[in-house]
Structure 1
Amino acid sequence: MKTLAIELRKEKRTGVIPVLLAVGVLGAAYAFVNFIMRKDTLLNLPLAPMDVLLTQLYGMIMVLNLFGIVVATCMIYNMECKGSAVKKMYMLPVSVPAMYLCKFLILTVMFLVAIVLQNLALAQIGMTDLPDGAFEMGTLVRFAGYSFLTSM
Protein backbone atom coordinates (compact mmCIF):
# COMPACT_ATOMS: atom_id res chain seq x y z
CA MET A 1 0.00 0.00 0.00
CA LYS A 2 2.91 2.31 0.78
CA THR A 3 4.40 1.63 -2.64
CA LEU A 4 1.10 2.47 -4.30
CA ALA A 5 0.93 5.82 -2.48
CA ILE A 6 4.50 6.64 -3.51
CA GLU A 7 3.84 5.69 -7.13
CA LEU A 8 0.60 7.65 -7.17
CA ARG A 9 2.43 10.80 -6.08
CA LYS A 10 5.12 10.23 -8.71
CA GLU A 11 2.56 9.63 -11.46
CA LYS A 12 0.60 12.73 -10.50
CA ARG A 13 3.74 14.87 -10.44
CA THR A 14 4.87 13.73 -13.88
CA GLY A 15 1.47 14.30 -15.48
CA VAL A 16 0.41 10.74 -16.27
CA ILE A 17 -2.91 11.02 -14.45
CA PRO A 18 -3.91 14.33 -16.09
CA VAL A 19 -2.97 12.92 -19.52
CA LEU A 20 -5.27 9.93 -19.14
CA LEU A 21 -8.08 12.07 -17.72
CA ALA A 22 -7.64 14.43 -20.67
CA VAL A 23 -7.92 11.47 -23.04
CA GLY A 24 -11.25 10.54 -21.48
CA VAL A 25 -12.58 14.10 -21.64
CA LEU A 26 -11.33 14.64 -25.21
CA GLY A 27 -12.89 11.37 -26.34
CA ALA A 28 -16.22 12.31 -24.79
CA ALA A 29 -16.06 15.80 -26.28
CA TYR A 30 -15.22 14.36 -29.70
CA ALA A 31 -18.24 12.07 -29.54
CA PHE A 32 -20.58 14.92 -28.57
CA VAL A 33 -19.25 17.40 -31.12
CA ASN A 34 -19.07 14.88 -33.95
CA PHE A 35 -22.58 13.60 -33.35
CA ILE A 36 -24.02 17.10 -33.00
CA MET A 37 -22.39 18.23 -36.25
CA ARG A 38 -23.20 15.10 -38.27
CA LYS A 39 -26.38 13.87 -36.57
CA ASP A 40 -28.64 13.92 -39.63
CA THR A 41 -25.98 12.41 -41.90
CA LEU A 42 -25.16 9.64 -39.43
CA LEU A 43 -28.76 8.70 -38.73
CA ASN A 44 -29.57 8.57 -42.46
CA LEU A 45 -26.91 5.92 -43.12
CA PRO A 46 -28.30 2.51 -44.15
CA LEU A 47 -27.20 0.94 -40.84
CA ALA A 48 -28.86 0.40 -37.51
CA PRO A 49 -28.52 3.55 -35.34
CA MET A 50 -26.61 1.63 -32.67
CA ASP A 51 -24.12 0.41 -35.29
CA VAL A 52 -23.66 3.96 -36.51
CA LEU A 53 -23.03 5.18 -32.97
CA LEU A 54 -20.36 2.57 -32.31
CA THR A 55 -18.65 2.45 -35.69
CA GLN A 56 -18.64 6.10 -36.71
CA LEU A 57 -17.71 7.62 -33.37
CA TYR A 58 -15.70 4.97 -31.61
CA GLY A 59 -12.97 4.57 -34.23
CA MET A 60 -11.40 7.94 -33.53
CA ILE A 61 -11.93 7.51 -29.80
CA MET A 62 -9.94 4.25 -29.91
CA VAL A 63 -7.09 5.97 -31.74
CA LEU A 64 -7.11 8.66 -29.07
CA ASN A 65 -7.09 5.98 -26.35
CA LEU A 66 -4.11 4.19 -27.84
CA PHE A 67 -2.29 7.49 -28.21
CA GLY A 68 -3.01 8.26 -24.55
CA ILE A 69 -1.68 4.90 -23.40
CA VAL A 70 1.50 5.31 -25.43
CA VAL A 71 2.07 8.85 -24.13
CA ALA A 72 1.42 7.84 -20.51
CA THR A 73 3.70 4.82 -20.80
CA CYS A 74 6.46 6.92 -22.34
CA MET A 75 6.11 9.43 -19.51
CA ILE A 76 6.43 6.65 -16.95
CA TYR A 77 9.45 5.20 -18.76
CA ASN A 78 11.11 8.61 -18.98
CA MET A 79 10.50 9.25 -15.29
CA GLU A 80 12.18 6.02 -14.24
CA CYS A 81 15.05 5.97 -16.72
CA LYS A 82 16.01 9.63 -16.42
CA GLY A 83 19.10 9.94 -14.24
CA SER A 84 19.36 6.15 -13.80
CA ALA A 85 16.48 6.14 -11.33
CA VAL A 86 15.84 2.43 -11.90
CA LYS A 87 19.37 1.55 -10.77
CA LYS A 88 18.89 3.67 -7.66
CA MET A 89 15.60 1.91 -6.86
CA TYR A 90 17.42 -1.40 -6.44
CA MET A 91 19.31 0.13 -3.50
CA LEU A 92 16.15 1.24 -1.70
CA PRO A 93 14.13 -1.00 0.62
CA VAL A 94 11.35 -1.13 -1.99
CA SER A 95 10.33 -4.16 -3.99
CA VAL A 96 10.95 -3.29 -7.65
CA PRO A 97 8.34 -5.77 -8.96
CA ALA A 98 5.79 -4.26 -6.57
CA MET A 99 6.74 -0.82 -7.85
CA TYR A 100 6.09 -1.84 -11.46
CA LEU A 101 2.88 -3.61 -10.49
CA CYS A 102 1.68 -0.36 -8.90
CA LYS A 103 2.60 1.55 -12.07
CA PHE A 104 0.60 -0.93 -14.12
CA LEU A 105 -2.38 -0.70 -11.75
CA ILE A 106 -2.39 3.09 -11.86
CA LEU A 107 -2.16 3.09 -15.66
CA THR A 108 -4.94 0.51 -15.94
CA VAL A 109 -7.31 2.23 -13.50
CA MET A 110 -6.79 5.65 -15.06
CA PHE A 111 -7.35 4.21 -18.53
CA LEU A 112 -10.52 2.55 -17.26
CA VAL A 113 -11.69 5.95 -15.97
CA ALA A 114 -11.04 7.41 -19.43
CA ILE A 115 -13.04 4.60 -21.07
CA VAL A 116 -15.92 5.15 -18.61
CA LEU A 117 -16.01 8.88 -19.38
CA GLN A 118 -16.12 8.20 -23.10
CA ASN A 119 -18.81 5.56 -22.80
CA LEU A 120 -20.91 7.80 -20.58
CA ALA A 121 -20.87 10.30 -23.43
CA LEU A 122 -21.86 7.59 -25.92
CA ALA A 123 -24.65 6.43 -23.59
CA GLN A 124 -25.92 9.98 -23.27
CA ILE A 125 -25.92 10.38 -27.06
CA GLY A 126 -27.65 7.03 -27.46
CA MET A 127 -30.39 7.73 -24.95
CA THR A 128 -31.15 11.25 -26.15
CA ASP A 129 -30.47 11.31 -29.89
CA LEU A 130 -31.06 7.81 -31.24
CA PRO A 131 -34.60 6.78 -32.21
CA ASP A 132 -36.71 5.14 -29.50
CA GLY A 133 -35.74 1.52 -28.89
CA ALA A 134 -32.53 1.75 -30.94
CA PHE A 135 -30.11 2.22 -28.05
CA GLU A 136 -28.90 -0.95 -26.32
CA MET A 137 -26.93 -0.43 -23.12
CA GLY A 138 -25.76 -4.04 -23.07
CA THR A 139 -24.19 -3.68 -26.50
CA LEU A 140 -22.39 -0.51 -25.42
CA VAL A 141 -21.08 -2.18 -22.26
CA ARG A 142 -19.83 -5.23 -24.17
CA PHE A 143 -18.22 -3.01 -26.78
CA ALA A 144 -16.56 -0.90 -24.06
CA GLY A 145 -15.19 -4.03 -22.38
CA TYR A 146 -13.91 -5.32 -25.69
CA SER A 147 -12.23 -2.03 -26.53
CA PHE A 148 -10.65 -1.82 -23.06
CA LEU A 149 -9.21 -5.33 -23.28
CA THR A 150 -7.90 -4.90 -26.80
CA SER A 151 -6.32 -1.55 -25.91
CA MET A 152 -4.54 -2.98 -22.92
Structure 2
Amino acid sequence: MPVAPLPWWPWPSISKSAATMRGRWCSWPAMFNIEMIGKEAKFGPKTAFITGYDKSDFGQLLQANLAGTEFKFEPDPYPEQNLFYRSDNATLARLGVPAHTISTDQIPTDKLYHSVDDEVSSLNVKNMTDVISAIARSASGIVAGQQTPTRIAP
Protein backbone atom coordinates (compact mmCIF):
# COMPACT_ATOMS: atom_id res chain seq x y z
CA MET A 1 0.00 0.00 0.00
CA PRO A 2 1.45 3.43 -0.92
CA VAL A 3 2.20 5.73 1.97
CA ALA A 4 1.52 9.45 1.72
CA PRO A 5 4.56 11.55 2.62
CA LEU A 6 4.37 13.17 6.02
CA PRO A 7 4.05 16.94 5.81
CA TRP A 8 7.21 18.57 7.16
CA TRP A 9 5.51 21.18 9.37
CA PRO A 10 3.99 19.21 12.31
CA TRP A 11 7.21 19.48 14.34
CA PRO A 12 6.14 17.71 17.56
CA SER A 13 5.26 14.55 15.65
CA ILE A 14 8.44 14.01 13.65
CA SER A 15 11.93 12.66 14.13
CA LYS A 16 14.96 14.04 15.92
CA SER A 17 16.67 14.85 12.60
CA ALA A 18 13.67 16.92 11.55
CA ALA A 19 13.80 18.73 14.89
CA THR A 20 17.46 19.51 14.16
CA MET A 21 16.44 20.92 10.78
CA ARG A 22 13.79 23.01 12.54
CA GLY A 23 16.54 24.54 14.66
CA ARG A 24 18.55 25.34 11.55
CA TRP A 25 15.56 26.91 9.82
CA CYS A 26 14.80 29.00 12.89
CA SER A 27 18.28 30.49 12.70
CA TRP A 28 17.99 31.56 9.06
CA PRO A 29 18.40 35.34 8.73
CA ALA A 30 15.58 35.66 6.17
CA MET A 31 13.56 33.87 3.51
CA PHE A 32 12.50 35.36 0.18
CA ASN A 33 9.48 33.78 -1.48
CA ILE A 34 8.95 35.17 -4.97
CA GLU A 35 5.74 34.34 -6.75
CA MET A 36 3.32 35.66 -9.30
CA ILE A 37 5.50 38.49 -10.62
CA GLY A 38 4.44 38.13 -14.25
CA LYS A 39 1.90 40.93 -14.17
CA GLU A 40 2.12 44.58 -13.20
CA ALA A 41 1.25 45.44 -9.58
CA LYS A 42 -1.69 47.67 -8.75
CA PHE A 43 0.86 50.38 -7.84
CA GLY A 44 2.14 50.51 -11.42
CA PRO A 45 5.38 49.57 -13.15
CA LYS A 46 8.57 49.14 -11.11
CA THR A 47 6.64 48.11 -7.99
CA ALA A 48 5.95 44.93 -6.07
CA PHE A 49 4.27 44.19 -2.77
CA ILE A 50 5.57 42.32 0.24
CA THR A 51 3.26 40.23 2.40
CA GLY A 52 3.50 40.79 6.14
CA TYR A 53 5.29 44.09 5.54
CA ASP A 54 4.49 45.24 9.09
CA LYS A 55 5.71 42.03 10.76
CA SER A 56 9.45 42.78 10.39
CA ASP A 57 11.69 45.42 8.84
CA PHE A 58 12.41 43.16 5.83
CA GLY A 59 10.57 45.45 3.39
CA GLN A 60 12.17 48.59 4.81
CA LEU A 61 15.66 47.08 4.42
CA LEU A 62 14.94 46.07 0.83
CA GLN A 63 13.58 49.52 0.02
CA ALA A 64 16.56 51.27 1.63
CA ASN A 65 18.89 49.22 -0.57
CA LEU A 66 17.03 50.56 -3.63
CA ALA A 67 17.72 54.22 -2.79
CA GLY A 68 18.28 56.16 -6.00
CA THR A 69 16.18 53.82 -8.12
CA GLU A 70 12.58 54.12 -9.27
CA PHE A 71 11.55 50.75 -7.86
CA LYS A 72 9.25 50.65 -4.82
CA PHE A 73 8.26 47.83 -2.50
CA GLU A 74 4.80 48.38 -1.06
CA PRO A 75 2.86 46.69 1.75
CA ASP A 76 0.43 43.96 0.72
CA PRO A 77 -2.63 45.70 -0.76
CA TYR A 78 -4.84 42.65 -0.19
CA PRO A 79 -4.83 42.03 3.59
CA GLU A 80 -8.28 40.44 3.37
CA GLN A 81 -6.70 37.63 1.32
CA ASN A 82 -4.41 36.68 4.27
CA LEU A 83 -1.59 36.06 1.78
CA PHE A 84 1.11 36.17 4.46
CA TYR A 85 -0.18 32.97 6.05
CA ARG A 86 -1.39 31.39 2.78
CA SER A 87 1.91 31.37 0.94
CA ASP A 88 5.10 29.30 1.06
CA ASN A 89 6.73 31.70 3.53
CA ALA A 90 4.18 30.91 6.27
CA THR A 91 5.87 27.89 7.85
CA LEU A 92 9.14 29.72 8.44
CA ALA A 93 7.37 32.92 9.50
CA ARG A 94 5.55 30.94 12.19
CA LEU A 95 9.00 29.95 13.48
CA GLY A 96 10.04 33.61 13.72
CA VAL A 97 12.09 33.75 10.52
CA PRO A 98 11.58 37.03 8.63
CA ALA A 99 10.02 35.14 5.73
CA HIS A 100 7.99 37.17 3.26
CA THR A 101 6.47 36.79 -0.19
CA ILE A 102 7.19 39.32 -2.92
CA SER A 103 4.51 39.49 -5.60
CA THR A 104 2.87 41.78 -8.14
CA ASP A 105 -0.35 40.03 -9.07
CA GLN A 106 -3.58 42.02 -8.89
CA ILE A 107 -5.46 39.14 -7.33
CA PRO A 108 -8.99 40.63 -7.21
CA THR A 109 -8.97 41.54 -10.91
CA ASP A 110 -6.69 38.88 -12.43
CA LYS A 111 -9.10 36.56 -14.23
CA LEU A 112 -6.23 34.13 -14.84
CA TYR A 113 -5.18 33.87 -11.15
CA HIS A 114 -4.62 30.17 -10.39
CA SER A 115 -6.24 29.24 -13.68
CA VAL A 116 -5.20 26.71 -16.30
CA ASP A 117 -5.53 29.53 -18.84
CA ASP A 118 -2.61 31.48 -17.31
CA GLU A 119 -0.13 30.89 -20.12
CA VAL A 120 3.30 32.36 -20.87
CA SER A 121 1.69 34.70 -23.38
CA SER A 122 -0.17 36.43 -20.52
CA LEU A 123 3.06 37.32 -18.69
CA ASN A 124 4.78 40.69 -18.74
CA VAL A 125 8.43 39.67 -19.11
CA LYS A 126 9.68 43.25 -18.70
CA ASN A 127 7.87 43.46 -15.36
CA MET A 128 9.36 40.15 -14.27
CA THR A 129 12.84 41.35 -15.20
CA ASP A 130 12.38 44.62 -13.30
CA VAL A 131 11.16 42.81 -10.18
CA ILE A 132 13.95 40.23 -10.27
CA SER A 133 16.57 42.96 -10.76
CA ALA A 134 15.15 44.95 -7.84
CA ILE A 135 15.12 41.90 -5.58
CA ALA A 136 18.71 41.04 -6.52
CA ARG A 137 19.91 44.56 -5.75
CA SER A 138 17.83 45.04 -2.61
CA ALA A 139 18.73 41.64 -1.14
CA SER A 140 22.48 42.18 -1.40
CA GLY A 141 22.91 43.33 2.22
CA ILE A 142 20.99 40.36 3.59
CA VAL A 143 22.72 37.87 1.29
CA ALA A 144 26.17 39.27 2.22
CA GLY A 145 25.36 38.98 5.94
CA GLN A 146 25.60 42.75 6.43
CA GLN A 147 21.89 43.19 7.24
CA THR A 148 19.50 41.02 9.21
CA PRO A 149 15.77 41.75 9.24
CA THR A 150 14.01 41.76 12.58
CA ARG A 151 12.47 38.46 13.64
CA ILE A 152 8.75 37.82 13.28
CA ALA A 153 6.88 37.25 16.52
CA PRO A 154 5.81 33.58 16.31
Output the TM-score relative to the length of structure 2: 0.26
Higher strand share: 2
Structure with greater contact order relative to length (CA < 8 Å, sep ≥ 6): 1
Output the TM-score relative to the length of structure 1: 0.26
> Larger C-alpha radius of gyration, 1 or 2?
1
